[in-house]
Amino acid sequence: DGTEPSHMHYENDENYFRGYEWWLMKEAKKRNPQIKLIGLPWTFPGWIGKGENWPYDYPDVTAYYIISWILGAKQYHDLDIDYVGIWNERAFSSKYIKVCSFSYFSEVKCLLLRYTLDKHGLQQVRIIASDRLWEPISFVLLLDSELHGVVDVIGAHYPGTKTVPNALLTQKKLWSSEDYSTFNDEVGAGCWARILNQNYVNGNMTSTIAWNLVASYYEELPFGRCGLMTAQEPWSGHYKVEAPIWITAHTTQFTQPGWSYLQVDGHLERGGSFVALADGLGNLTIIIETMTHNHSQCIRPPLPHFSVKPQRATFYLKGSFYMVETLQVWHSRLGFESGNSSLFQQLHPVKVWKGSFSLDLNVDEVYTLTTLKTGQKCGCPEPPPPQPFPSNYKDDFNIRNPPFSEAPNFADQTGVFEYFVNVSDPGDHVFTLRQVVVQQPITWASDADQTISVIGNFQWVNMTVTCDIYIEKQRDGGVFIAGRVDNGGIYVRRTKGVFFWVFADGTYRVTSDLAGEEILMKGLSGVRDNAWHTLALNIQGTSASGLLNGYPLWENVTVSKPSNGWAAIGTRSFEFAQFDNFHVE
């Protein structure tokens, strides 16, 4: 759903104040000092590959890149990173495997990472592999004792609550290190409730990580509202605490990292599941879910049919828990037929009689029974009401000490657009927005060959976009402003819209695509590099026109599809360029 700035755009560059993650990690630690922090690269800056779209040809460079991020987290933010992964969901290059065999290749990667971590005093940082599937990593760990010695956790993505025999044989911690990714309505909450329990019950996984935490990006991007809650209107301040948040609370308010799952068969007789966790100090938490098939389907993988029926379940507490007399009760019911859910409500405590108690369970419910009395559901003030994106929006980027490295409301989809200070400018353009990624990254998804940042309301049809632009790249540099932009994220390469381009060679183009291949109009503009120019793009109905420095450059170009979309700015390639006095109406 967009790009995020690296701490090292270039080989000689280190900056630990870019993006929102540092802020986010610190805010998380304020709320729960015991929360764990994990780093997992999805993309690497291009310089790591020295021209190749592959991060392991120079493994010491890659290891230094990862370690510098961990050290920077500590030095600049006092954050301790607990775990680090290898590379998100990426296969190993067959070219590389043929040269040296899979096992050797992994060993180079993981052993080098472990060695580099230890050399920098980071013995406490554990390694997760491989953030993809259970295999081949599990098989390789069984074959390779050295590799087995340095990988602490096997992390699989979207395991469908199941593991594989080899993973169990390794005796490593098994995690669902990315899961959920589902639209955050009641069905999303049902998905989350089911996998939070059944990843352990069926698959022995002791951690489940939701992608993603908060849906704070334009909803029309590929995975709109696939967060545990929604906060996608920074201009209004509106947000919504969706049902998956309260499903999360059933587990996270009554356990902590370091608690242990009790090894019980957590399948309920008539469908559904339960887990039991203990802190080793006498506390016990039991979480029960009875999600039905059609009300708990996740985005992936496909869910085989199963049935859940209302039932009376009796639980027996033994050993040190035999003495427990009462358990606090928290309850959620996801209301699909009625349309009104009851989320995370405290009920009367349950009396435990001679080590046992019974509960009447309906379908699509979650119960937490716990010795802890610390549960709470906040009486938070109502958030501000929702508002559409302002129909008249300006940003001159004139901010001396910005709280973040990027301008608000712009959503970078390829490249990174950062606040920039022009020390040499005579005064009009001291503070600008600058595209700073000058090399194609080692990509996770298919980034575009152009850079682009989108902004505004996806439903916009008619609009005027105005922006001062400054091409820095001589000869073949170029920039654009655009309207009715219809795509981003993993689909950014197929983005359509109305794009007004100017190039350093003094030409201009109007295209209906980001790739610049569907040309609607072209000609001479007189634009040159290293000079400021003002572009304006006006789209009304099926007609578009463009102005350069206040004078018409082209007009009455017919535009058909797409019929609506965001405004955008961007560059022809991975190149430096600046933007100022952005205005969309």
In the set 11, 52, 146, 178, the catalytic residue is 178
DSSP 542: T
The overall pTM is greater than 0.85: yes
CA distance 231 to 239: 4
Buried b (16+ CB within 10 A) or exposed e, 182-217: bbbebbbbbbbbbbbbbbbbbbebbbbbbbbebbbb
Query: Which segments of the chain belong to CATH 3.20.20.80?
Result: 20-234
CA distance 432 to 420: 5
Per-residue pLDDT at 89 exceeds 50? yes
Per-residue pLDDT at 104 exceeds 50? no
342 C-beta neighbours (distance < 10 Å), count: 13
Reduced 3-state DSSP string for 80-122: CCCEECCCCCCCCCHHHHHHHCHHHHHHHHHHHHHHHHHHCCC
The owner of tokens 């046992």 is 356
pLDDT in tens, 165-190: 999 999 999 999 999 999 999 999 99
Contact yes or no for 566/489 (Cβ under 8 A) = no
CATH superfamily of 20-234: Glycosidases (3.20.20.80)
- Grouping H, G, I as helix, E, B as strand and the rest as coil, residue 563 is coil
In the set 14, 21, 89, 220, the catalytic residue is 89
Question: 89 an active-site residue?
Answer: yes
pLDDT in tens, 462-476: 999 999 999 999 999
Helical axes 243-252 vs 186-201, angle rounded to 10°? 30
CA distance 62 to 371: 46
Question: 325 an active-site residue?
Answer: no
**Strand runs (DSSP E) across 310-406, as ranges?**
311-316, 326-333, 342-351, 356-361, 365-370, 393-395
Per-residue pLDDT at 265 exceeds 80? yes
DSSP 466-483: EEEEEE-STTT-EEEEEE
CATH superfamily of 393-584: Exo-inulinase; domain 1 (2.60.120.560)
First to last CA, the chain: 25
Contact yes or no for 276/286 (Cβ under 8 A) = yes
Sorting pLDDT into bands at 50, 70 and 90, what band is 544?
Answer: very high
Query: Which segments of the chain belong to CATH 2.60.120.560?
Result: 393-584
**Burial class, 392, CB count within 10 angstroms (exposed 0-12 / middle 13-18 / buried 19+):** exposed
CA distance 24 to 15: 17
Could you tell me which residue, 96 or 294, shows the higher pLDDT?
A: 294
pLDDT in tens, 409-426: 999 999 999 999 999 888
What is the token pair recorded at 24? 């986010």
Reduced 3-state DSSP string for 135-202: CCHHHHHHHCHHHHHHCCEEEEECCCCCCCHHHHHCCCEEEEEEEECCCCCHHHHHHHHHHHHHHHHC
Per-residue pLDDT at 94 exceeds 60? no
Could you tell me which residue, 445 or 108, shows the higher pLDDT?
A: 445
Query: How confident is the model at residue 111, as a pLDDT?
Result: 82
**Burial class, 452, CB count within 10 angstroms (exposed 0-12 / middle 13-18 / buried 19+):** buried
44 C-beta neighbours (distance < 10 Å), count: 23
Per-residue pLDDT at 98 exceeds 90? no
Query: How confident is the model at residue 339, as a pLDDT?
Result: 79
CA distance 512 to 359: 61
451 C-beta neighbours (distance < 10 Å), count: 29
The average confidence (pLDDT) of the chain is 95
Query: How confident is the model at residue 429, as a pLDDT?
Result: 97
β partners of residue 510: 500, 521
Helical axes 59-77 vs 102-119, angle rounded to 10°? 30
Contact yes or no for 310/364 (Cβ under 8 A) = no
